[in-house]
Amino acid sequence: PDGQVIDHQRIEHLAGRRGISLRTGCFCNPGAGELALGLSGAEISGCFASSGRQMSYDDFRRCVNDKSTGAVRVSFGLASSFDDAFAFVEFARELL
């Protein structure tokens, strides 16, 4: 309600405990989500430049001081039911 970001990994964990499957992370556009969440290009580049090796996602999160680096996406498809949608809406209301 106050506009503060709730980390996507926290949402994924809470949803999973309710049996709700969500897609979280940076999806198919690495970098865009991070920039949308306020990480600068210099901050991102600095992490990769200083790693000196292949960097894992967890390494990257530590490098940016555990700032959020992704988003949550809810998808409904042919196998989804009204009950699925209702369960998600109830879950989302609880987050408020």
Active site residue 63: no
Name the catalytic one among 26, 28, 47, 63: 28
Q: How far apart are CA 42 and CA 3, in angstroms?
A: 25
Active site residues: 28
